Structure 1
Amino acid sequence: MMRVLILMLSFSVAGGTDRVRTTCTAEACLTLHLEEEQFEKAKENCVNNGGNLVTMRDDNEFQRVKSALLAAEDSILNSKVWIGLELPKSRCTDFTEELHGFKWTSEPNDSKYSNWKKKPLSTCTENRCVSISLADDLKWTDGSCRESAFYMCKFLSKGMCKPIVMEEPGDVKYILPFLEPQAQNERLTMLPHGTSAEILCGGSEDSQSFISFCLDKDGIFGWSNSERFCARNKKSCTHKNGGCDHFCSETAEEIVRCECREGYYLMDDQVNCALRNNCENSPCESTCIPTSTGFSCACAEGFQLAEDNINCVDIDECNQHICGKHRCHNTVGSYFCMCNPGYRLVAGKCEDVDECAESRCDQGCLNSQGSFSCFCHAGYHSLSENRGMCTDVDECLSKPCEDICLNTIGSFKCSCRKNFILAKNGISCVPDPTEKPQNTPSPDHREAFITKLTQLTTSFESTTIKPPSLNKTNTQVDSSKRKESFVSSWIFVYVLASVIPLVVLIVLISVLVIWKRSRKETLKNNNADNYCWVSSGLDKERKKINIQLNNLM
């Protein structure tokens, strides 16, 4: 129905050069360029001529573009045609938006209408541009902007003029604001404001030429120079209706007069007719828009024209997935989104809540679409009952140090005992090179010394040396000395044995020194008396004493 309305209002058809097809309506002109160009070159060509790449922000524009493509003489059914929709390098594909992050190359850059064939490529680094094709019923398809395709420009016009009607044969060349001069084409029935016409009347001998312009005359668009174009001296309604727009009549003086239908008035050129008030008593339910050829109805935002193109019906925006993955509730003339958890409604759209900006975590925070997650720094771990809180880890429990470990907040520190320092790895201990070594026997050496001392004592006690012959008196005195020496030695040994377990290092050294001194003095005394003490003499004395005690008993 919209296509029919456009055709009724504009009677627009294609016309132009060999490689350009032009279609004009009461609101704008569309030019289809049948030379393949890359997207940027196509956009530049449209802008340089005073227009922009065609847009499809609503169903009305969709129908206009489709009509222009169908009116093309060449077969372009399977050809791609650029439209002014692209994804700049500075933006990422966003499937929560109707345009998926793409922007129109002319204002306004956004629209709620979309007509995607499939989801575009997800990218943040590549320019992507949109093309259409009649074979896909003008569904949007994204692709590389470096590809080549036909393109269509859109030129907005303040108003339109009807083509010039000449009573006598002649030629007209129209110079549109955005194209090269166009030869007259009867099928080009609307010309935009600002168009100039080069008119040549008569034959080659008596030809006359002049220029006329499509101008705005108090809201009514018509050609300058109100005289009839190439008028004949003898006028007749039988030839092209006398040049009249509606009705033609002849007087007795063979003068042709033009008249208009009811509700119209004759313009200054005395040929064309225009509505006195295009929107007077219009049947439009909402808004009436006057045009040079009549009127059109329009609806408020959130509504669209019904099939009769007069009444308005509500648009169910929820069918357009306008809320993305969130719930949508349609209202009369509008809608509203009900956001999922982790999102909030901003300017009618659901935006992610940055929970990290609200200090939800004790330490680290990572925001994500619709949610967030907390993490702890090294040396800490999260509490299972409260994932946002972090507590210190006691690394010393795992014994990371070779010697001494000291736990700190978020870390630990190793240290060493006296005479040792930390190695470069901060964990191991190595001897301190500034400390002098001490001659302190090791535990192994102390045990070996005690074993050797015991062997020497046993060997000493068991050794028997024959003494020289002595007189009885000397023998008794010497025996008494030996008894005293023997008793003293055993007492000393017992005392020494009891002290060794208590003081390991110092006592062993002292025992060694004392034992050596004692042994020297004993040998010295024996040498002075020319006697050697042996254990066998003591045994004999013990036996005698025992015999005497037995006899007494």
Structure 2
Amino acid sequence: MNDTDGMMRLLLVMLSCYVAGGTDRVSTTCTEEACLTLHLEERRFDNASEDCIKNGGKLVTMRNENELQSIKSALLAAEEFSILSSKLWIGLSLQRGHCTGSSELHGFRWTTEPADSRYSNWKRKPFSTCTEKRCVSISLEDDLKWSDGSCRDSSFYMCKFLFKGMCKPVVLENPRDVKYRVPFLSKPLDPNERLAMLPQGTVAEIQCGGSEDAENVLSVCDNKNGLFGWTNSESFCARNKTCNNGGCEHVCFETAEGGVRCDCHEGYYLMDDKVSCALRNNCENSPCESKCVPTATGFLCACAEGFYLAEDGVSCVDINECQQLKPICGENRCHNTPGSYFCECNPGFRFVAGKCEDVDECTELRCQQGCLNSQGSFYCYCHAGYSPALNDTDICVDIDECISRPCEDICVNTLGSFKCSCRENLILAKNGISCVPDPAEKPQNSPSSDHGEAFITKLNQFPVTFGPTTVYPTPVAKTDFSKRKESFLGSPWILLCVLGSVIPLTVVIVVMSVFVVYRWKRSRQAALKKSTADNYCWVSSGLDKEQKKNATFN
């Protein structure tokens, strides 16, 4: 074995050790731009993304219609796995702490750059949230429409691997004589899994003679002078074959030395592996204004999306979407741009995926407390216990409920509410507003100052009778004995206390009245005794008249 073969075998071993995470249920598809691997093992979104990154790729993206068709082709190629209704993660997610919006992606972002795109393919509007991480999945059953869900769910996933170049498969009479190891899988490709292209770094193990005991040749897909082809291609079993196509892709010629030589059809050229043929680049000096598509006999010009090919077959003309028969913007104003257009939406609306959609301002946290979205607008409201500020209705201020005196005794305002309390010897009732006596406190014999006013009022209303004369006491001016509220003085407990004080006082007044009447009668009887004549007759001596006369003259 020469040094080159030894190096190839060493490279093959290194690739086998480097790649990890392979699974038996993996379907691989490669195009001229990238390779896609479908992993039929259900995993959470983060685990699926890590597995793709670990093997050198990323979760698939769908930023345009071309990527959608590539994914659909890869899924249809794996039809033997019956995945029609299976969900498949794609690299589109909404991170925790970010809110769903009204753009094409509704706040979601791609896991690879560019993170944003104007293309969208939603099945329905995503769930509105700002606190939960949401991830996007697709399925063939939904025609690859996007559906968001919890990232903790488990689904199949597809990885995308980008390479600088691709090689066509090695051409032999029996394709099964070649085993391929691609950089992103730990096991060789199944012989029945034929790929149209193989990525840079793929190792091909070629069995010359169709037997495991025969000499094997290793080759690697690599860049050779600006073109990608197989290394060590001159040893592809050509010396052991007759010109039964001799392993050539197109035409085989026998040489005078007993070997074979390959050649290509018109419009193609022989690649460095000396067996493969590639289409000539007929677009090198093409006059196409936009795109050139090489063909076997020449080239064709094409235009980018939003343009059409002019009659000269070379130039491109902009498509004016605003002049279509059916208004593309509906009732909104349409503005044409080179290759595209945009709609000028009414206030409160935003241009999304070719139409004007309502902007949910409530997801943008414009209100301090409550928010109600409406078509083209929104409304802020305050929670119970708050009211809009006078100078800014979007701001809510606390209402001082104590101004309306809701409590029977003491009121303390709080944010959004209030709290009642009572003074000494009283406790708050079950209704949270009224005050009742504290059952733990001992009753007092003397009436409190709070009862003085009611007591004097009741006392002034009782007449005092002294004999035949009834005297009504002069009303006493109402004194402010307490700052307690009148509603509290009118409570049943206070009335009971007043009656308990007035009854004994009434008894005292009655007793005193009886005593006064009794003394009065005694005094009157004594006066009558003095004024009544006794049994003796008094005779005047005349001296009295003389004394009166002298007193008169004097």
Alpha-carbon distance, 1:136 to partner: 3.8
Q: How does 1:379-390 map to 2 (within 5 A)?
A: none
Alignment pair present for 1:456 and 2:473: no
Alignment pair present for 1:222 and 2:226: no
Alignment pair present for 1:198 and 2:205: yes
State the secondary structure of the residue aligned to 2:275: coil
Residue 389 and residue 298 in structure 1: after superposition, are their counterparts in 2 closer, same or farther (change >3 A)? same
State the secondary structure of the residue aligned to 1:222: strand
CA distance in 2, matches of 1:132, 1:264: 40
State the secondary structure of the residue aligned to 2:238: coil
CA distance in 2, matches of 1:342, 1:284: 44
Q: How does 1:148-187 map to 2 (within 5 A)?
A: 149-166=155-172, 171-179=177-185, 180-182=187-189, 187=194
Alignment pair present for 1:112 and 2:118: yes
State the secondary structure of the residue aligned to 2:80: coil
State the secondary structure of the residue aligned to 1:74: helix
Residue 106 and residue 204 in structure 1: after superposition, are their counterparts in 2 closer, same or farther (change >3 A)? same
RMSD between superposed Cα atoms in Å: 6.1
CA distance in 2, matches of 1:201, 1:231: 9
Residue 435 and residue 78 in structure 1: after superposition, are their counterparts in 2 closer, same or farther (change >3 A)? closer
Alignment pair present for 1:280 and 2:284: yes
**Partner residue of 2:273?**
269
CA distance in 2, matches of 1:70, 1:441: 99
Alpha-carbon distance, 1:520 to partner: 7.4
State the secondary structure of the residue aligned to 1:530: helix
**Partner residue of 1:371?**
378
> Which one of the candidate residues 58, 80, 83 is aligned to 2:86?
80
Q: How does 1:336-347 map to 2 (within 5 A)?
A: 336=342, 338-341=344-347
State the secondary structure of the residue aligned to 1:188: coil
Give the counterpart letter for 1:154 in structure 2.
Answer: K
CA distance in 2, matches of 1:61, 1:421: 80
Alignment pair present for 1:211 and 2:218: yes
Give the counterpart letter for 1:280 in structure 2.
Answer: E
- Percent identical among aligned pairs is 47
Cα deviation code 1:200-230 (max 9, x no counterpart): 3236698322321111124310111241411
Q: How does 1:412-451 map to 2 (within 5 A)?
A: 435=449, 442=456, 445-446=459-460, 448-450=462-464
Alignment pair present for 1:138 and 2:144: yes
State the secondary structure of the residue aligned to 1:174: strand
Contact 1:285 1:310 in 2 (8 A): yes
Residue 33 and residue 299 in structure 1: after superposition, are their counterparts in 2 closer, same or farther (change >3 A)? farther
Alignment pair present for 1:62 and 2:68: yes
State the secondary structure of the residue aligned to 1:372: strand
**Partner residue of 2:34?**
28
> Which one of the candidate residues 238, 243, 250 is aligned to 1:231?
238
Contact 2:100 2:126 in 1 (8 A): no
Residue 208 and residue 253 in structure 1: after superposition, are their counterparts in 2 closer, same or farther (change >3 A)? closer
CA distance in 1, matches of 2:255, 2:102: 71
State the secondary structure of the residue aligned to 1:214: strand
Q: Which residues of structure 2 form unaligned runs of 5+?
A: 1-21, 438-443, 478-508, 534-554
Give the counterpart letter for 2:36 in structure 1.
Answer: L
Alpha-carbon distance, 1:30 to partner: 1.8
CA distance in 2, matches of 1:141, 1:355: 20
Contact 1:196 1:211 in 2 (8 A): yes
Give the counterpart letter for 1:227 in structure 2.
Answer: E
CA distance in 2, matches of 1:203, 1:403: 105
Give the counterpart letter for 2:163 in structure 1.
Answer: S
Alpha-carbon distance, 1:191 to partner: 0.9
Give the counterpart letter for 2:200 in structure 1.
Answer: H
Alpha-carbon distance, 1:71 to partner: 2.8
Residue 312 and residue 111 in structure 1: after superposition, are their counterparts in 2 closer, same or farther (change >3 A)? farther
CA distance in 1, matches of 2:126, 2:25: 31
**Partner residue of 1:331?**
336
CA distance in 2, matches of 1:176, 1:210: 17
Q: TM-score, normalised by structure 1?
A: 0.58
State the secondary structure of the residue aligned to 1:227: helix
Q: TM-score, normalised by structure 2?
A: 0.58
CA distance in 2, matches of 1:33, 1:404: 71
Residue 185 and residue 313 in structure 1: after superposition, are their counterparts in 2 closer, same or farther (change >3 A)? farther
State the secondary structure of the residue aligned to 1:94: coil
Q: Which residues of structure 1 form unaligned runs of 5+?
A: 1-15, 415-419, 459-496, 534-553
State the secondary structure of the residue aligned to 1:232: helix
